[in-house]
Amino acid sequence: MLVPLAIGLSYSFREFNLLRPGAAEWVGLRNYRDLWSDPQFWRALRNTLIWTGASVVLQFALGLGLALLLNTQFHGKRIVQALVFLPWAVPTFLTALTFSWLLNPVIGPVPHWLFALGLIEEPYNILGNPDTALWGPILANVWYGVPFFAITLLAALSAIPGELYEAAEIDGASAWQTFTKITLPFLAPMIAITVMLRAIWIANFADLIYVMTGGGPANSTQILSSYIFTTAFRRLDFGHASAVAVVLLLLLMVYAALLLVVRSRLVRH
Domain with residue 184: its CATH number is 1.10.3720.10
Domain with 168 in it: 40-223+248-268
What local confidence, expressed as pLDDT, does residue 100 receive?
Answer: 93
**What's the number of domains the chain is made of?**
1
Contact partners, residue 167, CB within 8 Å, separation at least 6? none
Q: Is residue 166 assigned to a domain?
A: yes
Give domain status of residue 235, yes or no.
Answer: no
Degrees to nearest 5, angle at CA 138 with 243 and 69: 125
pTM equals: 0.89
pLDDT beyond 80 at 150: yes
In a domain, 62, yes or no: yes
What is d(CA 248, CA 234) in angstroms, rounded to the nearest whole number?
Answer: 20
In a domain, 5, yes or no: no
Query: Which tops the pLDDT comparison, 147 or 265?
Result: 147
Residue 72: which pLDDT band, with cuts at 50, 70 and 90? confident
Query: What percentage of the chain has pLDDT greater than the value 70?
Result: 96
Higher pLDDT among residues 59 and 170, named by residue: 59
* Mean pLDDT estimate for the chain: 88
As a whole number, mean pLDDT of residues 64-91 equals 87
Q: Which residues are CB-contacts of 35 (< 8 A; sequence separation ≥ 6)?
A: 41, 240, 243, 244, 247
Let me know if residue 2 belongs to a domain: no
Q: Looking at the predicted structure, is the pLDDT value of residue 78 above 70?
A: yes
Q: Is the pLDDT confidence value at 23 over 70?
A: no
Measured N-to-C along each axis, helices 135-158 and 77-89 cross at an angle, to the nearest 10 degrees, of: 130
CB 87, CB 66: distance < 8 Å: no
**Domain-embedded: residue 60:** yes
Is 103 contained in some domain?
yes
The residue-averaged pLDDT of 123-137 equals 90
In-domain check, residue 228: no
